[in-house]
């Protein structure tokens, strides 16, 4: 996201619209900070998911349910973020941000559905019996 100047410029325009006394440089700095906050937030979420996946592979049922809940919340958040990140001037089929977010939401929902399936439940029961 950081490398996409159009997204940063859109955020900077929002800053200027909210505070007309702000200079363009200040608005762009604020927009860059916002983009870095989003990237840091995503990295933190990925780290939490990684820990939960490792715990799930170890047979911890609570981690499985935490992954399901995070997957559902993540998909909802991603779908809401599309309104902020999607470029209204670009067709939805050509907007890479929108396509990436939709793919992420689809993967999160698919993963949650898979973790809720009967076969996953059997796998966890078998894993606990062996452990």
Which of 110, 124, 119, 117 shows the shortest CA–CA distance to 57? Answer: 124
Which parts of 19-95 fold into alpha helices (H)? Answer: 24-57, 61-85
On whether the CB atoms of residues 49 and 67 are closer than 8 A, the answer is yes
pTM for this prediction: 0.64
- Report the pLDDT value the prediction gives residue 2, as an integer from 0 to 100: 45
Place of tokens 């076969």: 119
Q: What is residue 71's three-state secondary structure?
A: helix
Q: What is residue 52's three-state secondary structure?
A: helix
Evaluate if residue 85 carries a pLDDT over 70.
no
pLDDT digits (tens, 9 = 90+) for 9-29: 777 888 888 888 888 888 888
Task: List the structure tokens of 126.
Answer: 């078998």
pLDDT digits (tens, 9 = 90+) for 92-110: 777 777 788 788 888 888 9
């Amino acid at each position: 996201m950081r490398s996409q100047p159009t997204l940063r410029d859109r955020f900077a325009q929002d800053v200027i619209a909210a505070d007309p006394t702000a200079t363009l440089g200040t608005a762009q700095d604020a927009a860059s900070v916002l983009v870095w906050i989003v990237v840091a937030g995503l990295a933190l979420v990925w780290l939490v998911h990684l820990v939960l996946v490792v715990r799930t592979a170890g047979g911890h049922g609570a981690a499985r349910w935490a992954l399901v809940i995070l997957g559902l919340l993540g998909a909802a958040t991603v779908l809401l973020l599309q309104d902020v990140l999607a470029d209204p001037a670009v067709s939805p089929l050509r907007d890479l941000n929108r396509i990436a977010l939709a793919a992420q939401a689809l993967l999160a929902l698919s993963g949650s559905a898979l973790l809720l399936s009967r076969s996953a439940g059997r796998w966890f029961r078998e894993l606990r019996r062996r452990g």
